[in-house]
Chains A and B, each alone.
Chain A
């Protein structure tokens, strides 16, 4: 899995966890749905660039529906955080089958857009593909924007404040319910966006969400849950170690990242950039 894409997906997971205290098991599903929304758009209009827009929008909307229709019923109940994990897990089982019903079991081919095919230049022995550079570029644009959103806007302030003390934010008279909906939708849209840009690299399939979800877990554990920098660093670390071990000795790739996680857990349980006390509860 590409480090950039891992960062984008894991950030959505981390933001939702930080604010709402739930592990969003449906996150991988949103990623998969993004790829499918992209496929539909390309299928209908032939435009990859349009898909970059429609996929996050469509899946963001689904995120709103899920949050309003399902998750909101769990708030304020006993063990609300558990319940949030459980219902999203239920959705993660349901939705891939719904996708199979609609699009069939086999995956859908998804071509690299014409403008980005081929290699851009050669770096020594290695071909540098235009599409990979594109992913890097897109990530380089999105990350600062997201950082600005979280650190320089009112919404970001509320999200960060809510992450550290939800009740207090509520007492200040801020509409927390709406912030939660927006945050959840934002997470879904981020996952969907990552899904579309991954689509040309892998086959679009109903199962694609499962694997990325676990990798995101590892990224957030290594980097530190709920921290922007941690997720970026964790994503790069995990993404690159996957890529490098993948090149050297394929079989070991998955094991290496799990070992990295176990090591971090042993030495620094809160993650590389995690703050003390965060996400302990």
Chain B
């Protein structure tokens, strides 16, 4: 908040420092517009961790939309600007739908290649766009009644109008980043698999980020047209995407200020260096390489880190008490179905190998079932099939009598199946509290981009409850990756429970735990079983025999035996194959 007031003051007084020189004001305006573009870009890069090289299309389509409207139809200025922003939004949605089938650098390459389509359209559509000459001859710009202001040629007027619009845009972006959708975006960036397992449709969340990014990139493009009274074709060439990437990383991703600082540095380099040095791109490129290698947080990010005091290490929780499930789960969630979960002839093959080979499996409500088997027996693949991470090659899965075969992970999660992973899978870069809060939020809202996520009272209460009962309240502000291994395992169960599941799959919950922690966890899982139905994969035989109602033994992807612990202990096949005696 203080930062915003300060920013407003700086924006308001900035013209004073340079005695209103038109050149300086023009430069300042340009920095602000590109700063907004870079901030919009960072909604995608810093927001959901998607590297785009296609933002030239968003900026360019908007710049041309505004330009063409002004040149041909002379609408009110705000209409032309809004139309530009909407143009950016639509372009980003189109591109997003196409490229989000892929991930990572491959996605980046697709954005680049697709954005060039727009460049060629502009290039070829010369009668309307002006082709390589750019689009000029824009009429005098004015706002509509009742304001009716003419946006005069005076740079000072123009500066204040643009600065006001950009300040409002930054406020809007800031608001969205703190909204439920903004938090979901952060969760997707921190750990996409986990976010999907919490019920978030990660592809749609990323598409939403594309849309926000596209809209504000479009706004920047429209404003750029207003500032320049001209649309150069460079605005829509892919190198513009590279430019905005450089600006964003110069300043530092993940901050509101960084993109503006980055835009300032870049434009300073461009104007100052190019005046004195013919080959200024050597320095821009070189500086970019150095920043990526040695200053990955950028200028603002690095300064912030330098100034921020190190948090004291969180106090360790007392490890001797067993969490009370009643507080974690609320009321017992045991539906009345005969079988809560059932698989029929479930198969999964990888090439020629059948990792899961015709498994018929039923779990009754309230049961605690263990799945055991030698390494490579197909246990984890089986879990991945049940939770929609992998589509089965054959067979069906029924949950509460409903066919869930082939449904994606986030839908399965929403239906009430939660899981933990063999290798701890949490949102490492988020706070302990946010880890649980975002999971609880997934039951309430995914895409709401207004209102503060922190104001969702029921979600907060749920998160508090879970942390309290897991004994993690003291570490709520610590980053999840700073927790000890045992605490992380508990946190992961907390994340799973925060989604209010009817059915919980735990993949080796005691892996890597000390004997003491193992005992505590086993007792915890046993108690939990009174409230939710649990299937657990476990290697520790003592734990398995101690807590299970029934045990399923997998071997080579097939069920070798099933029964009570006593029956399994006596089963000759199991002894031969599994216990090897």
Which residues does A use to contact B, with CB under 8 Å? 17, 21-23, 70, 73-74, 77-78, 81-87, 89-98, 100-101, 214, 217-218, 220-221, 225, 251, 254-255, 258-259, 261-262, 265-266, 269, 279-281
Contacts and interface: CB of A to CB of B under 8 A. Distances in A.
Given A70-B293, A82-B105, A97-B285, A262 B98 contact: yes
A255 B102 CA distance: 23
A78 B428 CA distance: 13
Contacts of A85: 51, 105, 108
B110 A70 contact: no
A224 B226 CA distance: 42
B110 A97 contact: no
Given A262-B114, A280-B102, A23 B108 contact: yes
A255 B288 contact: no
A86 B292 contact: yes
A86 B279 contact: no
B282 A94 contact: yes
Contact of A93 (B101, B249, B278, B288): B288
B104 interface: yes
Given A23-B108, A100-B279, A258-B117, A89 B288 contact: yes
Nearest to A84: B105
Nearest to A93: B285
B316 interface: no
A258 B292 contact: no
Contacts of B104: 21, 81-82, 280-281
Contacts of B112: 214, 217
Contact of A92 (B102, B109, B285): B285
Contact of B117 (A87, A96, A255): A255
21 contacts: A17-B105, A23-B105, A70-B289, A82-B105, A87-B289, A90-B286, A91-B289, A93-B242, A93-B288, A95-B285, A97-B280, A97-B285, A101-B282, A214-B113, A217-B112, A217-B113, A221-B110, A261-B114, A266-B98, A269-B101, A280-B103
B115 to A, nearest CB: 10
Interface string B87-130: 00000000000100111111011101110110011001000000
Contacts of A95: 285
Contacts, number: 114
A214 B288 contact: no
A201 to B, nearest CB: 22
Contact of B102 (A73, A254, A261, A269): A269
A94 B293 contact: no
Interface of B: 51, 98, 101-106, 108-110, 112-114, 116-117, 120-121, 124, 238, 242, 245, 249, 278-282, 284-286, 288-289, 292-293, 296
Contacts of A220: 109
Nearest to A254: B120
Given A97-B282, A258-B116, A86 B109 contact: no
B206 to A, nearest CB: 14
A86 B247 CA distance: 12
A93 B293 contact: no
Contacts of B289: 70, 87, 90-91, 94
* A contact patch SS: helix
A259 B245 CA distance: 26
A225 B285 contact: no
B128 to A, nearest CB: 15
Contacts of A77: 296
Contact of B109 (A23, A91, A100): A23
A100 B109 CA distance: 27
A92 B121 CA distance: 25
Contact of B293 (A74, A96, A266): A74
Contacts of B286: 90, 94
Contacts of A93: 242, 281, 284-285, 288
Q: Which of B113, B282, B289 has the most chain A CB atoms closer than 10 A to its own CB?
A: B113
B116 A214 contact: yes
A169 to B, nearest CB: 19
B290 to A, nearest CB: 8
B289 to A, nearest CB: 4
A90 B288 contact: yes
A83 B292 contact: yes
Contacts of A261: 113-114
B101 A86 contact: no
A79 to B, nearest CB: 8
Nearest to B243: A93
Contacts of B288: 86, 89-90, 93
Nearest to A210: B239
A77 B205 CA distance: 26
B242 A265 contact: no
B513 to A, nearest CB: 25
A139 B131 CA distance: 37
B285 A91 contact: yes
Contacts of A90: 285-286, 288-289, 292
B427 to A, nearest CB: 15
A166 to B, nearest CB: 14
A279 B106 contact: yes
Nearest to A71: B293
A90 B245 CA distance: 11
Given A258-B120, A265-B98, A86 B281 contact: no
A83 B284 CA distance: 17
Contacts of B285: 90-95, 97
A82 B293 CA distance: 11
B109 A221 contact: yes
B113 to A, nearest CB: 5
Nearest to B99: A265
Contacts of A94: 281-282, 284-286, 289
A221 B124 contact: no
Given A214-B113, A258-B117, A22 B105 contact: yes
A204 to B, nearest CB: 18
Contacts of A17: 105
Contacts of A214: 112-113, 116, 238
A35 B294 CA distance: 32
Given A94-B281, A94-B286, A258-B117, 18 more contacts: A23-B109, A73-B293, A81-B104, A83-B293, A85-B105, A85-B108, A87-B292, A89-B245, A90-B288, A90-B292, A93-B288, A94-B289, A97-B279, A98-B279, A255-B124, A258-B116, A262-B117, A280-B104
A94 B103 CA distance: 28
Contacts of B106: 23, 225, 279-280
Contacts of B113: 214, 217-218, 221, 258, 261
